[in-house]
Amino acid sequence: MKIKTILASAALAMTATTGALAEKTKVGFVYVGPVGDGGWTYEHEQGRKAVVEAFGDKVETMYVESVPEGPDSERVMTDMALKGADLIFTTSFGYMNPTINVAAKFPNVKFEHATGYKQADNVSVYSARFYEGRAVQGHIAGHMTKSNIIGYIGSFPIPEVIRGINSAYIHAKAVNPDVQFKIVWAYTWFDPTKEADAAKVLIEQGADVVLQHTDSTAPQAAAQAAGGVITFGQASDMAAYGPMPRVSSIIDNWAPYYIARTQAVMDGTWTSTSTWDGIGAGMVGIGEISSAVPADVKASAEALRDSLSDGSYHAFTGPLNKQDGSVWLAAGETASDYGDDGLAGMNFYLEGIEGDVPN
Amino acid sequence: MDLSSISPTLLVASLMVAATPILLAAIGELVVEKSGVLNLGVEGMMIIGAIAGFAAAVGTGSPIIGFLCAALGGAALSLVFAVLTQFFLSNQVATGLALTLFGLGLSALMGQSYIGIKPPANVTLDLPVISDLPILGPILFSHDITVYAALALVAGVWWFLKYTRGGLILRAVGESHDAAHALGYKVVKVRILAIMFGGACAGLGGAALSLVRVPQWTEGMTAGAGWIALAIVVFASWKPARVLLGAYIFGGVAVLQLNLQAAGVSIPVEYLSMSPYLITIIVLVVMSAHRNKAALNAPAALGRAFHASR
């Protein structure tokens, strides 16, 4: 057994030194939902496929879907690292600590954690500024609602989701001062049964716009069944539900980032970085605004999108107060990414939103 | 907080829809237990029904064929249980648990290519004037047909058990299989039929979930509904009308907690989420406190294996 191990490691060392060119770069992906969820995980899977397409024989990819957040994900990451992965993308917020733990055990493997904030020498973080897309959604929602009640299905009360709620709210409020948000926390990223129930309840309580920060298309189906309710595709276009109820969408586009990072590993130029791109860089896309939206609203929504894209407008521009009335941003001031009250750690509602952020 | 935004009418209407899958599964299990068999595989049969019905409905474009296949799928899986427990006399508890695990695994395998697909829409009752009545319309006359089918099934089971000769034989088998055997009734045959009926009902319940309530397929989408159906049978002390009550209470709590959340009631969400399960446990505890009452109503031969030579 011992001799075998020594031989094996010697052989491995030889291939590592002599066969570096012939060896494939192995890239692993850890997914929180099934690849067919039609939302979040689906788009990461598109990114993986783009990597395969871009590098062909030079790359070997592997993925594990529906991995629970928390300790069990460490097992999956460790397994990938032991199988010789050079680069591992962990694609959900709840993988943050497991990624850091496993990365410490495998200093030669590069890790990329999505939507988190903990970096290490071999752990990069990347995320998209979904809140820019939420601003466009809020704008359309504020114009479109007749009941002035907008339902919002939250997943977990983490900064990414709270940013989305705040951004959608202030942009809806800007065009419709009477707008009211009803927020239901589903405590899951992907559970069609819960998501459908949450959407139905919001609709029953008068919401005629349902925004979702969960990954399945179940709320779209619920809105379609109810009729007269509009929704937005989440993470993926969800075009199958257009032109009603789905009137637009936020589309995550991870492919360019995944290809660039895989290339960096191949070239040996990979370093630990923090990437947070929005509409401008193409990481967040706004899906086609459907014919259900009046032309003038569509035009103003596209103008908003373009101003976010070229950087002439920041989605969080003062004057903005926190829920308790204290000043968050003075007039003309824009939110900073990091630091106290920065966007990265946002854990408070803005003025006008009812209810408390759950702990 | 704004409780006025919760409409009692819509609350009742949606709890009926939410309760239908567990109601179907529970009424089937009631018949199985009345025949003296304890089948803990309800969860497994439900999820097989969910995927079988979903696949058939997507394949043919007809929800009705989907429901038929769901019932067939559930019954087919229950036949495995029937053969093992009735011919090979295996332990019913262990076999039932194995059936649940097997069903969950098999359904995940069958469902791989069905994730994220839209099923065809089911038939909804829509009567010209009656469905638009103020309060009664939404509650009574504008549901999906499965809601009515489940109610009809409960009434049918009640009538069958209480008023028909077949029902009497089924109960006799469940109370004392030896006496029923001595009278010349085919104990094993009666039980196999009961088990298959239970499987078919559980399958329908699963399809009500994947074709109507969600409607979508996801791995493990029953999420414990089968276990709740089992608990409801005990809660109902093996009476069909009380199964209906139990299922609606459970469905009501599940829907109400989301309504309270949306209305901004400041109770921590975690308490609301666990409330349906807490209430199930409390009800079971209260029920079993009246020991004699519950024990009197349980089929005397429940869970006991039968062999003609004994």
Chain B contact for A221, CB < 8 A? yes
Looking at per-residue pLDDT, the higher value among B293 and B185 belongs to B185
CB contacts, 8 Å: A216 with chain B: 116, 216, 218
The residue with tokens 């129930």 is A197
- Chain A interface mutation, best of B115, B117, B144, B253, highest count of A Cβ atoms under 10 Å: B115
Domain B3-297 bears CATH identifier 1.10.3470:
yes
What is the spatial distance between Cα A352 and Cα A348, in angstroms, rounded to a whole number? 12
Test B262 with A66 for CB contact under 8 angstroms: no
Average pLDDT over chain B, rounded to whole?
87
- Smallest Cβ–Cβ distance between A184 and the set B18, B261, B266 belongs to B261
**Model confidence pLDDT, tens digit, residues B240-256:** 999 999 899 888 887 88
pLDDT-derived band at B300 (thresholds 50, 70, 90) equals: confident
Residue among A342, A272, A260, A264 at smallest CA distance from A100: A272
Is A198 in contact with B268 (Cβ distance < 8 A)?
Answer: no
Hey, what amino acid is at A70?
G
* Confidence band, pLDDT 50/70/90 cuts, at residue A146: very high
Q: What are the structural domain ranges in chain B? A: 3-297
Nearest residue to A152 via CA among A227, A234, A56: A234
Task: Give whole-number Cα distances, B124 to B17, B147, B149, B255, in Å.
Answer: 12, 10, 12, 21
As given in the structure block, the two tokens for residue A130 are 């979904």
Q: Answer whether residue A267 shows pLDDT above 60.
A: yes
Q: State the pLDDT confidence band at B296, using cuts at 50, 70 and 90.
A: low
Share in percent of chain A as helix, strand, coil (round to 5): 40, 20, 40
User: B18, A185: Cβ pair inside 8 Å?
Assistant: no
Residues of B with CB under 8 A from a CB of A: 5-7, 10-11, 14, 18, 115-118, 121, 209, 213-216, 218-219, 221, 223, 254-255, 258-259, 261-264, 266, 268-270, 273
* Chain B residues closer than 8 Å to A356 by CB: 266
Q: Does A216 touch chain B (CB under 8 A)?
A: yes
- Point out the least confidently predicted range of A4-13, A127-136, A237-246: A4-13
Which residues of chain A make contact with B215, given a CB cutoff of 8 A? 196, 221
Q: Which residue of B has its CA nearest to A216?
A: B116
pLDDT at B293: 58
Q: Is the dihedral angle over the CA atoms B9, B13, B14, B16 positive or is it negative? A: positive
At B42 the pLDDT is 96
- Residue with the larger pLDDT of the pair A13 and A133: A133
- Cβ distance of A354 and B264 shorter than 8 Å: yes
Closest alpha carbon within chain A to B214: A193
Distance from CA of A287 to the nearest CA of B (A): 19
Most A-contacting residue of B267, B269, B270 (CB-CB within 10 A), to test interface: B269
In angstroms, rounded to a whole number, what is the distance separating the alpha carbons of residues B186 and B168? Answer: 13
Q: Kindly report which listed range (A157-171, A269-283, B135-149) carries the lowest average pLDDT score.
A: B135-149
Residue B280 has pLDDT above 80, yes or no: no
Tell me: pLDDT of B147 over 70. yes
Domains of chain A with bracketed CATH? 23-129+254-277 (3.40.50.2300), 130-252+285-345 (3.40.50.2300)
Query: From start to end of chain B, where are the E strands?
Result: none
Share of chain A above pLDDT 70, in %: 94
Which pLDDT belongs to residue B126?
Answer: 67
Is the confidence at residue B134, as pLDDT, over 90? no
B-chain residue closest to A355, CA distance: B264
Query: CA end-to-end span of chain A, whole Å?
Result: 52
Tokens 């003609």 belong to residue = B308
Q: Which of A196, A202, A216 sits opposite B262 (nearest CB)?
A: A202
pLDDT value at residue B283: 72
Confidence of residue A31 (pLDDT cuts 50, 70, 90): very high
Average pLDDT of the segment spanning B15-44: 94
pLDDT beyond 80 at A129? yes
pLDDT of B273: 66
Report the C-alpha gap between A252 and A127 in whole angstroms.
10
Task: Note whether A200 contacts B: Cβ–Cβ < 8 A.
Answer: yes
**pLDDT-wise least confident of A42-46, A208-212, B295-299:** B295-299
Select from B99, B69, B71, B74 the least CA-distant residue to B84: B99
* Pick from B215, B219, B255: CB nearest A201: B255
Residue A271 to chain B, least CA–CA distance (Å): 36
- pLDDT class for B221, splitting at 50, 70, 90? confident
Question: B67 to chain A, minimum CA–CA distance in Å?
Answer: 19
- Average pLDDT along chain A: 89
pLDDT computed for residue A17 by the predictor: 44
- A187 and chain B in contact, CB less than 8 A: yes
ipTM: 0.76
CB atoms within 10 A of CB A79: 14
DSSP-derived secondary structure for B139-203 = HHSSSBHHHHHHHHHHHHHHHHHHH-HHHHHHHHHHH-HHHHHHTT--HHHHHHHHHHHHHHHHH
Q: What pLDDT does residue A233 have?
A: 92
Q: Where are the beta strands (DSSP E) in chain A?
A: 25-30, 59-64, 87-90, 110-114, 123-128, 149-154, 180-185, 209-212, 230-233, 246-252, 274-277, 284-287, 320-321, 327-329
DSSP symbol at A349: P
In this model, does residue B140 exceed pLDDT 80? no
Contact B273 A187 (CB under 8 A): yes
Say if residue A20's pLDDT is above 50: no
Residue among B116, B269, B270 whose CB faces A217 most closely = B116
Q: Is the model's pLDDT at A291 over the cut of 60?
A: yes
User: What is the structure's pLDDT at A304?
Assistant: 95
Under the banding of pLDDT at 50, 70 and 90, the label for residue B235 is confident
A211 Cα to chain B: minimum distance (Å): 13
Minimum mean pLDDT among A57-66, A230-239, A339-348: which range? A339-348
The closest CB to that of B18, out of A34, A35, A197, belongs to A197
Rounded to whole angstroms, the Cα distance separating A166 from A186 reads 18
Q: Does A201 touch chain B (CB under 8 A)?
A: yes
What is the per-residue pLDDT for A238?
87
pLDDT at A18: 43
How much is the pLDDT for A19?
A: 43
Mean pLDDT of B62-77: 95
CB contact under 8 A, B11 and A204: yes
Residue A272 pLDDT exceeds 70: yes
Whether A204 and B213 lie within 8 Å, measured CB to CB:
no
